[in-house]
Amino acid sequence: MTQGANPLHIREGKREDLPHVANMVRALADHHGDRAKTDVSVLTRDFFGPTPWGHLLVAEGERGVLGYAALCPVLRLQDGVRGMELHHLFVRCPFRGRGVGKALISAAEKTAAASHCAFLNVGAHPANKDAQSTYKALGFVQRSGSTVRFRKSLG
């Protein structure tokens, strides 16, 4: 895949990518009216620590890291299958609409399949119609939520 005349490469994230990813996490949080509380040390723990919690993919072009995808494992024990949640997908503003996000999604699908996952979940903000259209065009099926979920803080 090319980014204009420049090649686009989707690859596993590296420790040296984390400052760029931290900046993009902050930009994504800002976009949603949130305040990111993460930093490079948290990302290091979650992606490269003794017990990695997620999987990081980055889109790289001639202008550096253009975007990222963060994947987290999911179990459906009652069905006996593994899955992954495409927890974050972000492309820097000047590179949106150029296939970077679709390339990251494709790499996320391959990563999940290589981990013997039966499904890949992704969510979209209700107002983000572009993301919803993209996910549907790429074969994702919208699910209706019928469960009531709870959360308890542990610290």
pLDDT (tens digit per residue) in 103-145: 999 999 999 999 999 999 999 888 889 889 999 999 999 887 6
Taking the C-alpha atoms of residue 105 and residue 107, their distance in angstroms, rounded to an integer, is 5
Q: Is 73 exposed, middle or buried (0-12, 13-18, 19+ CB in 10 A)?
A: middle
- What's the pLDDT score for residue 86? 96
Q: Which residues pair with 73 in a beta bridge?
A: 84
pLDDT band at 32 (very low <50, low <70, confident <90, very high): confident
pLDDT band at 5 (very low <50, low <70, confident <90, very high): low
Backbone phi and psi for residue 48, each to the nearest 5 degrees, phi listed first: -130, 5
Q: Which residues pair with 122 in a beta bridge?
A: 86
- What's the pLDDT score for residue 2? 44
Put simply, whether the predicted model's pTM sits higher than 0.85 gets the answer yes
pLDDT band at 146 (very low <50, low <70, confident <90, very high): low
44-89 per-position pLDDT tens digit: 999 999 999 999 999 999 999 999 999 999 999 999 999 999 999 9
Length of the chain: 155
- What's the pLDDT score for residue 1? 47
